[in-house]
Amino acid sequence: MIRYIIKAKSAWVEKLEKEHTGGSWKTVKGKHVYVDKAGKEVETGKGKTKFVIKEKKIKDKINPLIAEAQKYNTAEDFIQSKPNGIIFNGTLYHNTSYENAKSIKKSGFKVEDSSNLSLDERGWVAGNLGDGVYLSPDYHSNRNLWGGYANLIVKPRHELLLYDAGEHEGAARNIGFELSDKLKKMGYDGIIVNDPHPHSGGFQVVIFDPKKLKVGNIVEQTNIQPSQLNKIDIVKENLKDFWKRATRSKHLRKPQKSSD
């Protein structure tokens, strides 16, 4: 799909808009011209030529997961390629200190690759679900579990493919570094698990690549209502439904053949 954008304004354009306050740019015969608030096109000098802002073609970005799903001819093939996969979106929280929260809000999350370390060494530098950003959709249990005084609001930049490890006791213990590394190579964006065991880490979501996350405000510095924090605000979609949605959008973008 191609759309059009107006290039950055030159000093001349800014001057014109200042002299004719209240006007706007409109498309006339395929060209952008400036129209004053009375609805008249503004003359721009010699030959009364109307000033035109040049257009630039750019490609719309597509959710990479949609592009991935469109590679498969059937939903079954897509599902088999991503065992235990779910499509995820929603609001998450990261519990930490105020100092760390302010640093993350300013510069984003940083994740170190520990795959070159021994298992014992990795246990000291990475969490139980491998390398990644550790989050939870449950504000209260996450805060109580980790004990930090600050909670960052974090959201995915787009839908993510997560490995659903389940909600049974022991689910978190079944993951480990080997599986986490394997999932990353298979194209998963992270892991979701809600292990009820008191020492499991609770309702966790780990995202491998911090660039896929948007860091929001610190909860304690906002006017968010307590009732909002009581909600689990996430959406999980099965791969079959997602494949149908992805391939439907693909077919809609195809040019229609003439019936003549």
Residues 6+ apart with CB under 8 A from 113: 131
Average pLDDT over residues 190-218: 92
Contact 203, 184 (CB under 8 A): no
Which has more pLDDT, 174 or 185? 185
**The predicted structure's pLDDT at residue 55:** 43
On the question of pLDDT at 109 being above 50, the answer is yes
Flag whether 22 is in a domain.
yes
Type and span of the H or E element at 87: strand 85-90
Tell me, rounded to whole angstroms, the distance of Cα 102 from its chain centroid. Answer: 21
Flag whether 252 is in a domain.
no
pLDDT band at 30 (very low <50, low <70, confident <90, very high): low
Kindly report the average pLDDT of the chain as a whole number.
Answer: 82
Contact 215, 152 (CB under 8 A): yes
Flag whether 255 is in a domain.
no
Tokens of 49: 């030529």
Flag whether 118 is in a domain.
yes
Say yes or no: 147 and 229 in one domain: yes
Q: Domain tally for the chain?
A: 2
Say yes or no: 166 and 41 in one domain: no
The whole-model pTM stands at 0.72
Contact 151, 220 (CB under 8 A): yes
User: Which of 59, 76, 97 is a domain's end point?
Assistant: 59
Flag whether 166 is in a domain.
yes
User: Which of 59, 85, 102 is a domain's end point?
Assistant: 59
Domain that holds residue 227: 64-247
CA-atom Rg of the chain in angstroms = 25
Which has more pLDDT, 180 or 12? 180
On the question of pLDDT at 56 being above 50, the answer is no
